[in-house]
Structure 1
Amino acid sequence: MSSLAWIDFDEAERQRAQRIMALFQERETRDELGLGGIRDSIADHLFPGTSTIQTRLRYMLFIPWLFQMLEGSSAGADQLASEARALENRLANALKAGGESNGVIGRDAGADLQRLPSSVYWAGLGTWGIRLFPGSTDNLFSSMRHLQRARPRVRESEDSASEAQALQIWTPTLPARPTDLLDHTQFKLSLDEAQFIIDRLIAHQPHSLLAFLARSGSSQAECDNIWEHPHLADFPDDARTLVGHGAIFSSVMHGASLLYNLLLSRLRDRAEWIEKYEVRFAEWQSSLDMAGIRAWSLDAFWAAIDHPAHSIRPAAKRFVAEWLGLLTAGNVLDGALTPAARLVQDRERRLKTSQSRFANRAVRDRWTGASGVEPLTFRWAQAKSHLRDLASAE
């Protein structure tokens, strides 16, 4: 049946495609040197279901609650999509009425909001096992009427129970929707809501660092990087190893990003930009733990970060290996004709072809002076915010 076409596709592939589509729309994930697959593999191991544009944790409950209001409707797919948008806009107003301002998606845009909260959190809802329906929101709207008709009314056998589960949209343990949700609401979780989310993480992402931190309550760390966490020694072995790899990778490759910006600044002949990146590049070099970097095993790194949702291209691995080789040999210098500069320029040219900023002056002239200049943190900021919301439940 065409209304159930989503069932015919492999769920892992569908979720991978949804994550990729979401990443294309996140400004923070712009990837000038082709390191995004590596970055996201690490982030999805440590903090699965998060993304850089998530704001507050209770949206993981708001979205199911809003979509539950549409269940039983006889409206068509387009009308359901319109009604869902209206509900999400009403939610923004209810949050503002409840005194919330920080983290309200659509606070300023109102009805003109382009990126709805449901699209921001949809993949995460599936990853955490809150959403059981395997398709997109459009798939859901197209299938809604059939799902209502097809659910077994009586569960007399294991087969009928299995069929009922397959037709569920949300996990049956979802907490009850507040009656005043669309009048005034807040981001603060109740204790039952917080425990529900922790239970979902433990059940569906048991080996993740996010589940460990949520369960253990080690959520009050205000460190900027996960490898600076005060309870790092208590992390599970695999997570602690991966965090260590992430720390070195972030440190090593930050220099390539800084050099990229410095080289472009020189081509643009912008003195203030040049000075800024020369200073930052020198500070980066002086901060490196070269003993740790020389002891770092790339083979162990690639094995540790392997993730079914991300395919890391051989060219990306070569770029990392060549940059690391130059660094350990002491050949990462900031001159325009150095091997390091040629490596960075060649990498960007191969990735962007005719849109390369090094090869296309018109594209370069539109550059605003900063591209990926901050060290990689693997979505720790978003995970930290979610853990803070869990810890603040009452």
Structure 2
Amino acid sequence: MSSIGWIDFSSTDRKRVHEVLALMKEPGTLDELGFGQLRDAYADTLFPGFSTVQTRARYFLAVPKIMLDWADLTDAKRRRRPLDDYLKMAENEFAKTLKTNYDAARLEPEGVIGHTVVEQGGVARRPSSTYWNGLRVFEIVRAQSSLAEFCRYWRRDGDAQEAVSSEEGTDDAGQRFESAVRRPPGSRGDWPVGLTLTLDVDEARFLRERFTLARGLDNTVCAQLLSNDLAASALSDDYASFAAFSKWAAGQCSLGPTCRDNIAAAQRFSLAVEGAHIVFNRLIAKGIDDNRLHSLCDELYAGWRATVKVAGIFRPGADLEWLSVAEAGGTRVKRRTIEFLERWNVLNEADAPKLSDLDSLVRTQAVDNKPARSLLIKLPHERADWYGMRALDYRWQTVRRMLKDIVEVLPC
């Protein structure tokens, strides 16, 4: 039996580890070939503030309400129960409240974080951690610190903090405060009777404002869709995959050119490396003698070759374009991945690349990426429909869920 351990220095480190572990439970997300850094760099450009482990938009409102509830306590009560302890208690209570309300309404608790474990010790993946980066990106919480650092500061000097109320128009930018929480609509007092994850109109307007007007978001996908009244159209089932969405977005002239260019660049990278994942699965199929998977890979490979040829994906310098998003965002990409992409581009510029060369390149990359843990070394004992990634999604499914929560009550 094996186990995983780590040393973390902040809640940001802890969040990253939990997200990786969560991704390991989701099909199609395992980074067998080492492209995760670039995938995340594209996702951060397109969809900053969102992550694949977020569920529903209400948590962007619930976490700051809980923090403000703590700030409204008396000095003595805050000293007895510091913010980090209060968050843990209140988030568990929130999960219980939602579960009770969904059960009473005979509804499935879709997206309710921790609804299956609230009676067994509480929520493991807490909303405050999962949504913390987004709360900062959308300036709902004005802080550069990690959640742990934020809580420690309030523990030390909670009396000095000031909550900023957008409802009452008391946001004075000149006021001195080192940590500030923007008050969402309707966040005073107890949770409303029968509360679910469905937003009301004021809450949806608040989130639309935060998703579009926070600094640095002008060219992001969510801001552009909401600002140009395209969110409802983008949520069509026809555009559920990122590939379909990117094709639709290319024809939307009201989207800013930078946004459209970023979407197109992300789709080109997805197409480029999709072939590597097909080759990877074909190698596994050979290793475990899975004729069904091998035939599927042959079929997918032929279709992929036709698609990338028409789209002109492989050409001199294409690998530098794929890597440019990492350079722009300050993401360090491993040398072996840079060299793989360069060689992958060169091989695939040919009309009919030698399959043996592609196999050898992908095998080397997979083994170098995960040495003894690579599925090409430690072949799977149980057969699956697919191993690792295929087409990249870039958090589009998460953003669709968030936009749907807004559009359902505030058509836009």
| Same fold? TM cut 0.5 | yes
Partner of 1:325: 346
2: distance between equivalents of 1:292 and 1:228?
A: 15
Residues 55-103 of structure 1 show CA distances to partners (whole Å, capped at 9, x for unaligned) of: 2112111121123233332234574354134234224325524646322
Q: After the TM superposition, which of the residue ranges 370-379 and 176-185 deviates more from structure 2?
A: 176-185
Change (3 A) 1:313 1:180: same
Change (3 A) 1:182 1:66: farther
User: Shift of the alpha carbon at 1:135?
Assistant: 3.5
Q: After the TM superposition, which of the residue ranges 51-60 and 190-199 deviates more from structure 2?
A: 190-199
1: distance between equivalents of 2:302 and 2:209?
A: 46
Q: Please tell me whether residue 228 in structure 1 is matched to residue 247 in structure 2.
A: yes
SS state at 2:184 partner: coil
Partner of 2:79: 74
Residues 4-56 of structure 1 show CA distances to partners (whole Å, capped at 9, x for unaligned) of: xxxxxxxxx98975764454233154211111111111111111111112221
Q: Please tell me whether residue 90 in structure 1 is matched to residue 106 in structure 2.
A: no
Partner of 2:395: 379
1: distance between equivalents of 2:101 and 2:66?
A: 14
Preserved CA contact (<8 Å) 1:214 1:390: no
Q: Please tell me whether residue 166 in structure 1 is matched to residue 166 in structure 2.
A: no
2: distance between equivalents of 1:241 and 1:287?
A: 19
Partner of 2:48: 48
User: Shift of the alpha carbon at 1:391?
Assistant: 1.7
Change (3 A) 1:22 1:126: farther
Preserved CA contact (<8 Å) 2:308 2:314: no
SS state at 2:359 partner: helix
Change (3 A) 1:136 1:163: same
One-letter code aligned to 1:207 = N
Preserved CA contact (<8 Å) 1:191 1:393: yes
User: Shift of the alpha carbon at 1:257?
Assistant: 0.6
Q: Please tell me whether residue 218 in structure 1 is matched to residue 230 in structure 2.
A: yes
User: Shift of the alpha carbon at 1:339?
Assistant: 0.7
TM-score normalized with structure 2 length? 0.79
Q: Please tell me whether residue 138 in structure 1 is matched to residue 148 in structure 2.
A: yes
Write out aligned runs for 1:189-338 (5 A): 189-201=199-211, 202-204=213-215, 205-220=217-232, 221=234, 222=236, 223=239, 224-225=241-242, 226-229=245-248, 231-290=251-310, 292-294=312-314, 297-304=318-325, 306-308=327-329, 310-332=331-353, 334=355, 338=356
Change (3 A) 1:187 1:76: closer
Preserved CA contact (<8 Å) 1:67 1:84: no
2: distance between equivalents of 1:289 and 1:234?
A: 29
2: distance between equivalents of 1:319 and 1:43?
A: 21
**Residue correspondences, number:** 369
SS state at 1:260 partner: helix
Q: Please tell me whether residue 177 in structure 1 is matched to residue 173 in structure 2.
A: no
Residues 332-375 of structure 1 show CA distances to partners (whole Å, capped at 9, x for unaligned) of: 455xxx010111110011111222232345xx446756323430
Q: Please tell me whether residue 116 in structure 1 is matched to residue 136 in structure 2.
A: no
Preserved CA contact (<8 Å) 1:219 1:387: yes
Unaligned runs of 5+ in 2: 1-8, 164-171
1: distance between equivalents of 2:326 and 2:147?
A: 30
One-letter code aligned to 2:230 = S
2: distance between equivalents of 1:89 and 1:62?
A: 11
One-letter code aligned to 1:377 = D
Preserved CA contact (<8 Å) 2:91 2:127: no
SS state at 2:70 partner: coil
Q: After the TM superposition, which of the residue ranges 136-145 and 338-347 deviates more from structure 2?
A: 136-145
Identity %: 23
Give the alignment partner of residue 341 of structure 1, picking from 333, 355, 359: 359
TM-score normalized with structure 1 length? 0.82
Residues 305-332 of structure 1 show CA distances to partners (whole Å, capped at 9, x for unaligned) of: 5443632233222212211221121354
2: distance between equivalents of 1:93 and 1:182?
A: 14
Unaligned runs of 5+ in 1: 1-12, 154-159
Change (3 A) 1:311 1:35: same
User: Shift of the alpha carbon at 1:384?
Assistant: 1.9
2: distance between equivalents of 1:53 and 1:357?
A: 25
Change (3 A) 1:20 1:300: same
SS state at 2:119 partner: helix
Preserved CA contact (<8 Å) 1:95 1:184: yes
User: Shift of the alpha carbon at 1:387?
Assistant: 1.8
1: distance between equivalents of 2:92 and 2:162?
A: 31
2: distance between equivalents of 1:16 and 1:107?
A: 24
Residues 251-287 of structure 1 show CA distances to partners (whole Å, capped at 9, x for unaligned) of: 1211101111111121112233323333332332333
Residues 76-133 of structure 1 show CA distances to partners (whole Å, capped at 9, x for unaligned) of: 4574354134234224325524646322222333334422222221211111111124
Preserved CA contact (<8 Å) 2:150 2:179: no
SS state at 1:376 partner: coil
Change (3 A) 1:15 1:248: farther
Change (3 A) 1:200 1:14: farther
Q: Please tell me whether residue 391 in structure 1 is matched to residue 407 in structure 2.
A: yes
